[in-house]
Amino acid sequence: MLLPALLLAQSAAFAPPLIVTASRLPPLASAIQIDTNSFDSAGSVAAAAASVPNLFIAQPGGRSGFAAATLDGADPNFTLVLFDGVPINNATSSRGGAVNLAEIGSFGLASLDLLPAQLSAVHGSGALAGVLAITPRGPADRLEFTAQGGGISQGGHTLAAGLSGPIGGGWGASLTGQIDDDGTPTPLVRFVARTALLRVVRNGGADRLLLRFNDVDSAGFPDASGGALLADRRVAEQRRAREFLAAVRTRRVLGGGLALDLNTSWLGRSDSLASPGVTGAASNPAGLPASTDTTRYDRLLGQASLAWTAGATQLAVGMEGSTERGRSIGDLDFGFFALPTSYRLDRSAWAGFAEFASRAGALSGSGAVRLDQIGSLKARLSGRVAAAADLGGGWRLEASAGSSFKAPSFYALANPLVGNPALRPESGQRGDSALIWQQDRTRLRLAGFVARYRDLIDFVFQPAPALVNRGRVAVDGVSASLAQQLGDVQFDLAVQHIWPRDEAGGPGLLLRPRWRANAALRWQAAERLVINLRAGHVGARDDESVPNGRQRLSPYLQLATDVRWQTSDALAIRLAADNLLDADWQDAAGFPAPPLRLRLLASVRL
């Protein structure tokens, strides 16, 4: 669970997407690999991942907004995010456990891989829609120094540096640091992030030590306030987040086809917020009061698994245990008096799991089952089956089905303003299929999914803001993608259409565009000159703010480009432009998109 296997299939013309197992056994499903060409100019994981139609990432107010990924029309907290194999979702997040991808800088990353599927049978609570795996670069074969710096229009800048190489005894290490200042792309916003990462590995990552620290200082209009276009209160919400991640993994080969994996990790996070509140409306006169809130979250996670290999058959069994602690203290300011608020929640969990995989000729199959006992909740059994067939002529058919669940987050249960201690766990079932054709220079993928969710936890605005369980929610979807290499030009096309609906007759889900489409072109114009052009279409979607009610947001087209000039073996210059057409759209109700933004970056590798 803590470190999914990543295998790269090489092609004579270009590297096709990574294969992510999301398990301890051989891969059966082809993951969607997010284009690494845009990492340097993207700035954050959120900006890089926005190029995948399966993911809709709204960033109200630019990078200062909470960039949660809506995967295949599911809730943002249904996507499990792994950093170097370690889950970083936290139960005190205001998005019910979703990860703010804008906080994670893209410097020093090797890959972003997305596997849409129900994966609670592998990962436990939370992976109802799929897994996003973020993998940092491994240590270099020789001592190497890298640095990147540059300016961003509207007053921003970025500085980053890294040192990587062998340290003896078969071990290698990489140390990176990064400072990002996003400037002021829209009114009243601010975003500054400072990140440090140490990664020590041996045997290709079989043994690993990971230490990561992230410090984010940001400001912007509160959620559901109407943003810069509609909010009545022109005062920014102040936010501060500090996160520390430590993880250790080791693998021991025992002989006889047996291997033992031991993993442990600790995630610690503190958040502080000072909000001016949100003006009310006729349907909700009270609005949201001004507030302060300081939260602390700690999670200790450990796992032991034993894998056995015999020819084309593999079996893995193991156990996992975790403990979570959440603390919150603050106040709600109603003008004429302030109401102190707080909560303290602790939760322990254990799980037992088993996975099986086998291959016979062109056919392969796998299965997984997991039993989770989380706190005082009823024990949950999750299952998953998958199969794949190589049809010949470059064709491959993949299919999977699974059941998943998610325990309510601490925020959802106990937040003083909108929390609901009576919330039930969310659950779902999903089936996926994909037909893939790949030749030396071409890759075509046609896919579809059917997902059903029960007791989905959602935010409602009336009669008063609160979190409630929805009865039955359905999301179905189809997608197609094409990657083609033509001489010095490579282009990628992808499109997705989904049908999200509340089968119990409730209001439509927010921020679920039915249509997403992306196109990317990479042109090797000269030996040292590369030009990238990206286009993305987002369809119409609903959103809601407290003072303005439900609104229909218009579809939009976004263009971005970057030019990379390798002036020498050591120095590269990159000029990037976001929102190239200076188009006007809203990421959320009342939150305008950042205007045309230019980034000039210089990278040094010694």
Provide the token pair at 75.
Answer: 């809730």
The per-residue pLDDT for 267 is: 97
Q: How confident is the model at residue 14 (pLDDT cuts 50, 70, 90)?
A: very low
Average of pLDDT values for 124-149? 92
Measured CA to CA, the distance from residue 221 to residue 237 in angstroms comes to 6
Higher-scoring residue by pLDDT: 125, 280: 125
Say if residue 115's pLDDT is above 70: yes
Tell me the one-letter amino acid at 407: A
What integer best gives the mean pLDDT of the chain?
Answer: 89
Q: What is the pLDDT of residue 461?
A: 67
Mean pLDDT of 171-184: 94
State residue 408 phi and psi, 5-degree precision.
Answer: -60, 145
| Tokens 């220079």 belong to residue | 441
Question: Do 138 and 205 touch, CB atoms closer than 8 A?
Answer: yes
182 in Cβ contact with 65 (< 8 Å): no
pLDDT at 537: 95
Q: For residue range 56-82, list pLDDT tens digits in order.
A: 998 888 888 899 889 999 998 999 999
With bands split at pLDDT 50, 70 and 90, how would you rate the model's confidence at 203? confident
Q: Taking the complete model, does pTM exceed 0.75, yes or no? A: yes
- 448-485 residue pLDDT tens: 999 999 998 887 766 667 888 888 999 999 999 999 99
Task: At 411, list the tokens.
Answer: 């925020």
- Residue 399: exposed, middle, or buried by beta-carbon count in 10 A (0-12, 13-18, 19+)? middle
In what side-by-side order are the strands of the sheet with 130-136? 32-34, 109-116, 130-136, 79-83, 86-87
User: Residue 304 CB: number of other CB atoms within 10 A?
Assistant: 14
| From 30-34, 272-276, 534-538, the region with the lowest mean pLDDT | 30-34
Confidence band for 283, pLDDT divided at 50, 70 and 90? low
pLDDT of residue 509: 87
Q: Up-side HSE of residue 35: CA atoms within 13 Å toward CB?
A: 25
CA dihedral 457, 461, 464, 468 (to 10 degrees): -10
Question: Within a 10 A sphere around the Cβ of 568, how many other Cβ atoms?
Answer: 8
The strand pairing partners of 191, in sequence order, are 218
pLDDT at res. 205 = 78
- 94 vs 264, more confident: 264
- If 0-12 CB within 10 Å is exposed, 13-18 middle and 19+ buried, where does residue 421 land? exposed
What is the arithmetic mean of pLDDT over 89-118? 90
Gap between the Cα atoms of 520 and 517, Å rounded:
11
pLDDT, tens digit, 9 for 90 and up, residues 227-236: 999 888 899 9
Between these two residues, 498 and 338, which has the higher pLDDT value? 498
**Rg of the Cα atoms in the chain:** 23
Say whether pLDDT at 3 is over 60: no
Q: Looking at residue 26, what is its pLDDT?
A: 53
Tokens of 365: 């199959």
**CA 95 – CA 110 distance, rounded (Å):** 27
Helix (H, G, I), strand (E, B) or coil at 579: coil
DSSP string across 503-526: TTS-PPPSS--SEEEEEEEEEEEE
pLDDT (mean) for 437-451? 94
Contact call for residues 544 and 288 (beta carbons, < 8 A): no
pLDDT of residue 23: 52
Distances (CA, A) of 236 to 101, 179, 432: 21, 22, 43
Q: What is the pLDDT of residues 314-363, one digit of tens each?
A: 999 999 999 999 999 999 998 888 899 999 999 999 999 999 999 999 99
Q: 20: which residues sit within 8 A by CB, 6+ positions away?
A: 4, 5, 6, 27, 29, 31, 113, 115, 131, 133
What are the helix and strand counts (H, E) for the chain? 5, 37
Residue with tokens 């896919």: 447
How far, in Å, CA of 95 to CA of 99, rounded?
8
**What mean pLDDT is predicted for residues 38-47?**
78
Residue 487 CB contacts under 8 Å (≥ 6 apart), including other chains: none
